[in-house]
Structure 1
């Protein structure tokens, strides 16, 4: 089987840019879609440079439902003449169907701690601005499916919840190229803190990626950072992938210990920007801005708090 070529594509967005990936198969695929502007401003010119056309994309593979990954899905689907299959895990499909779902997610978790009276309105405005359209996915997955990209090229779908309930890995069979979106956080991205909604599921998914899949190449949704603050690229070789998975597990263990010590001591509301989880920030030496969206500090600590309550 000939090797399938993978091309990272960066689309303009603020200071950082957003990453998607082009799988150059007989039925071409795009993994993740950035935001509303990404298909026109990032994907179309990048594909043209490769001698390909955005109209020819036949698979839109979404790793999870966050706005910077599904925001461009409707626009990309329209650009293909609505011929592409739009694939997402059933647990995150509501985030593709509804902008309001993103607002509800904010209000139900991190928004509880940010104490911003305009927070809901800001998320509403962001969802309107960067999600190109609400839509029904054309294919729902649970994990375990195999997608044919034409010829003998197949992609297997693996459920890896944690970052979100519907996070998935797409694996190009035969060469073990693995796309994980934001499911491998290391030390996080710009905020310097790993973000995941379900800590136990996140840990199990990291172990599954390490022990069962063992990626030859690992494609990340953002340039996540090592302990020294240096960012990985978004395309990791096997050695780097193993390092990122090992470090992600070590970091989760450290956050878990600090979170449960804080929870066992009882939460205390203070004037700290990290309240009521200030002891966690102190123990870990975290000095990032916890209000900077998507506020992974509060998303993650809320996950530990929820699980602690369930076990109590």
Structure 2
């Protein structure tokens, strides 16, 4: 964005695919994708303000019309990917909304977010101030309820016209209902947040809210599909000294990013396993020890408390897998 152009520019990736970087919250960027086809496609919608503020003008600049969208594919039900679904209903009322059944409840009510994944960190740490702030942020960025038109399942193929087909690929872990979408003729897989390398910034970990075991299986499955192009929901970073932060990975870089994502998940699991085996002093104690060990292994940064708050949800998912503990309350 520039001062004279307050909305983002749509970037053509080839094959009629456009990437649109959209701001959310104070410093977040989510990457949404438009496929120019006889039945135009939108991959995710950002937050409530995104469609009108960002998508409509960005596409208009290149002669495309957001109102023509016929398919809205939801990679998962988290706020920065589905918060704009309700707004899109008004802009493109003929569009069908697709979501995997396990995440469909996140379209129904705000409380599914405020008492779910997005508040795992403050609940796990007992931080009432942060909990209140996150709840307020969700209320101002999500439009719900939103009707899901299609509960899309693994292997479902959708014809978007012109001989082009999109295949749904279930890729759980980040959320149970995470769904990737494979544009078959372009060998392009839109993954949302399903695979994250080391997450959305230097010194972090991938965000795995729901199922650490499924997350590792997802990485292996996508590697088996061998897409020519990965279109991610954020500019995820690879391992230290590895692939640079980018929302789009192609060819050998895509394969390397998948390998690095697998290596990162393995390092987290093995470290958590060793720490828990040496004595479980409770989650916060375990998390602090794991993070200290991952400073050298994965370049994790720590705060003055010896923690990394952006990593707490992920560590709790791996902790639950090994100990059978419930989600934070």
Instruction: Report the TM-score when normalising by structure 1.
Output: 0.90
Aligned pair 1:148/2:164, yes or no? no
Q: Is the 8 A contact 2:275 2:286 kept in 1?
A: no
Q: Is the 8 A contact 1:89 1:168 kept in 2?
A: yes
1:283 to 273, 280, 293: 293
State the secondary structure of the residue aligned to 2:186.
Answer: coil
**RMSD of Structure 2 on Structure 1 (CA):** 2.3
Q: Show the counterpart of 1:33.
A: 45
1:162 to 173, 182, 193: 173
CA distance in 2, matches of 1:165, 1:62: 13
Displacement of 1:226 after TM fit? 2.1
Aligned pair 1:238/2:251, yes or no? yes
CA distance in 1, matches of 2:118, 2:28: 26
Q: 1:107 to 1:210 in 2, by over 3 A?
A: closer
Displacement of 1:297 after TM fit? 1.4
CA distance in 2, matches of 1:49, 1:307: 48
Q: Is the 8 A contact 2:38 2:161 kept in 1?
A: yes
Q: 1:62 to 1:26 in 2, by over 3 A?
A: same
Q: Is the 8 A contact 1:146 1:157 kept in 2?
A: yes
Instruction: Report the TM-score when normalising by structure 2.
Output: 0.86
Q: 1:19 to 1:269 in 2, by over 3 A?
A: same
Give 1:212-227 correspondences, 5 Å limit: 213-227=225-239
Q: Show the counterpart of 2:62.
A: 50
Displacement of 1:268 after TM fit? 2.8
State the secondary structure of the residue aligned to 2:75.
Answer: coil
Unaligned runs of 5+ in 2: 1-13
Q: Show the counterpart of 1:301.
A: 315
Unaligned runs of 5+ in 1: none
Q: Is the 8 A contact 1:172 1:178 kept in 2?
A: yes
Q: 1:108 to 1:227 in 2, by over 3 A?
A: closer
Displacement of 1:154 after TM fit? 0.9
Q: How many residues of Structure 1 are paired with residues of Structure 2 in the alignment?
A: 302
- Deviations, residues 221-275 of structure 1 (Å, cap 9, x unaligned): 10011223774221111211101100000011100011111222233369xxx64
Give 1:1-312 correspondences, 5 Å limit: 4-13=15-24, 14-80=26-92, 82-106=93-117, 109-190=120-201, 192-196=204-208, 197-211=210-224, 213-228=225-240, 231-268=244-281, 275-285=285-295, 286-288=300-302, 295-310=309-324
Q: Is the 8 A contact 1:144 1:158 kept in 2?
A: yes
Displacement of 1:133 after TM fit? 2.9
Q: Is the 8 A contact 1:198 1:300 kept in 2?
A: no
